[in-house]
Amino acid sequence: MLTDRQLMILQVIIDDFIESAKPVGSRALSKKDTLPYSAATIRNEMADLEESGFLEKTHTSSGRVPSEKGYRYYVDHLIGPEIYQHGLGIIERLTNNGIYEFEQIVQTAAEALSKLTNYTSIILGPEMFEATVKQIQVLALSDQSAVAILVTNTGHVEHRSFTLPKGVSSSDLEKLVNILNDRLHGIPLYRIPEVIQNEVASLMMKYMNGLDSSLNWIRTLFTQEQAVKLYFGGKANILMQPEFNDVDRIRSFYSLMEREDEIVNLLKNSNQGIKVSIGHENEVEEIKDLSLITASYHIGGGQMGTIALIGPTRMEYKKVLSLMESISREMTGAMGKWYSDKS
């Protein structure tokens, strides 16, 4: 249990380090008006905070820096976001300028968020992981061609034409449709390839002829790129952080940014509301020394998307939490209106 004095000192240290990125010493802290304690008293308290795991000592300085445990306590107990009562107005300005298309709104929001924070922003469109399969139909157009109709729980309908492999009969198509509807109903779109591989394939082997050719075109048919995607803002912002003066860290971060499937999996597992993951709380290796903040937004029709910011553990948490809360609220309002207008 931390004392009130320790809490005050911890908060000032973290605030100072977030601003300066330099280790904080007791002598500098004793000169601050907010800490009416001697350098010796502060030094003793810092030693106790270090022993408790809230601070760490660097090799290059006599000062201390916050640990991941310290940042976690700071976020959970020492700060509260400053709510933008009137909102940021990002989405409102876009619609006032005549921008109503989903992709334009989301991409511009991602870029605006990255500029306001100087971190890397990522926005995941909702249907990538929220829409599920409601029904699949396959209609033969001729002996060689057919069309697959995919209907989602949100009412979205996709038509995909394809060439039938040799040897596939109308009876095979009927069996296939039954298998697909049985196994894929209620499955999120992003999981279709996984379920086809692990469940549908074995049933096709049991009930259909020509498994190899049929399975190949099934995979091709349902692994086409989805209409929604990731929207990035400020990928290069991470280079402006003093922590990123190591070429290997930069290479590792940019490697992750190129692996969009992993980022989708990372963001789709985020909880509703705002979530802060600090350092090793992150499961992905490339961001175990970074912080990831996610916030959900709703679009209507049961769909949900995710807004994310990636930055150093020395992140301006108070400012960022405020911005995420505000932009989540704005996007939910604007996207709800967009969805109702399109319905």
pLDDT digits (tens, 9 = 90+) for 33-89: 889 999 999 999 999 999 999 999 887 667 899 999 999 999 999 987 565 555 567
Q: In the prediction, which pLDDT does 154 show? A: 62
Q: In the prediction, which pLDDT does 155 show? A: 65
**pLDDT (tens digit, 9 = 90+) per residue, 117-143?**
999 999 987 654 456 788 999 888 887
Q: In the prediction, which pLDDT does 340 show? A: 65
Domains of the chain from N-terminus onward: 4-78 (1.10.10.10), 90-127+228-338 (3.30.450.40), 133-221 (3.30.390.60)
Calpha distance 277→282 (Å, rounded): 6
Strands (E), the chain: 55-57, 64-66, 120-124, 133-140, 145-152, 157-163, 230-233, 274-278, 290-300, 303-312
Q: In the prediction, which pLDDT does 261 show? A: 82
Q: What is the pTM of this model?
A: 0.71
Calpha distance 293→116 (Å, rounded): 15
The mean of the pLDDT values for the chain is: 83
Q: In the prediction, which pLDDT does 230 show? A: 85
> pLDDT above 70 covers what percent of the chain?
82
Q: Which is more confidently placed, 37 or 208?
A: 37
Question: What number is the average pLDDT over the span 203-216?
Answer: 68
The number of C-alpha atoms within 13 Å of 192 and in the hemisphere containing its C-beta is: 27
Q: What is the DSSP string of 240-307?
A: GSTT---HHHHHHHHHHHH-HHHHHHHHHTPPSSEEEEEGGGSSSGGGTTEEEEEEEEEEETTEEEEE
Of 124, 256, 233, 106, the closest CA to residue 189 belongs to 124
Calpha distance 335→299 (Å, rounded): 5
Per-residue pLDDT at 316 exceeds 80: yes
The number of angstroms, rounded, from the C-alpha of 343 to the middle of its chain's C-alpha atoms is 27
How many Cβ atoms sit within 10 Å of the Cβ of residue 99?
13
Q: In the prediction, which pLDDT does 19 show? A: 94
Q: In the prediction, which pLDDT does 70 show? A: 98
Q: In the prediction, which pLDDT does 44 show? A: 96
The pairing of beta strand 55-57 with beta strand 303-312: unpaired
Calpha distance 158→150 (Å, rounded): 5
Of 115, 142, 168, 160, the closest CA to residue 309 belongs to 115
pLDDT interval class at 313 (50, 70, 90) = very high
Angle of CA points 99, 308, 21, to nearest 5°: 120
Q: At what angle do helices 170-184 and 211-222 cross, to 10 degrees?
A: 50
Q: In the prediction, which pLDDT does 277 show? A: 96
Calpha distance 130→36 (Å, rounded): 53
Q: In the prediction, which pLDDT does 192 show? A: 82
Per the listing, tokens 């290479």 go with: 251
Q: In the prediction, which pLDDT does 93 show? A: 72
Q: In the prediction, which pLDDT does 175 show? A: 85
Residue environment code for 190-227, b if the CB has 16+ CB neighbours within 10 A, otherwise e: bebeebbeeebbebbeeebeeeeebbebbeebbeeebe
Q: In the prediction, which pLDDT does 200 show? A: 84
**pLDDT (tens digit, 9 = 90+) per residue, 238-297?**
888 888 888 888 889 999 999 888 898 888 766 678 999 999 999 899 999 999 999 988
The three-class DSSP label of residue 309 is: strand
Q: Are 123 and 112 in contact (CB under 8 A)?
A: no
**pLDDT (tens digit, 9 = 90+) per residue, 213-228?**
566 667 766 665 554 4
Residue 316 φ/ψ, nearest 5 degrees: -80, 75
Sheet holding 290-300, edge to edge: 230-233, 120-124, 303-312, 290-300, 274-278
Q: In the prediction, which pLDDT does 25 show? A: 93
Q: Are 39 and 24 in contact (CB under 8 A)?
A: no
Q: Are 324 and 307 in contact (CB under 8 A)?
A: yes
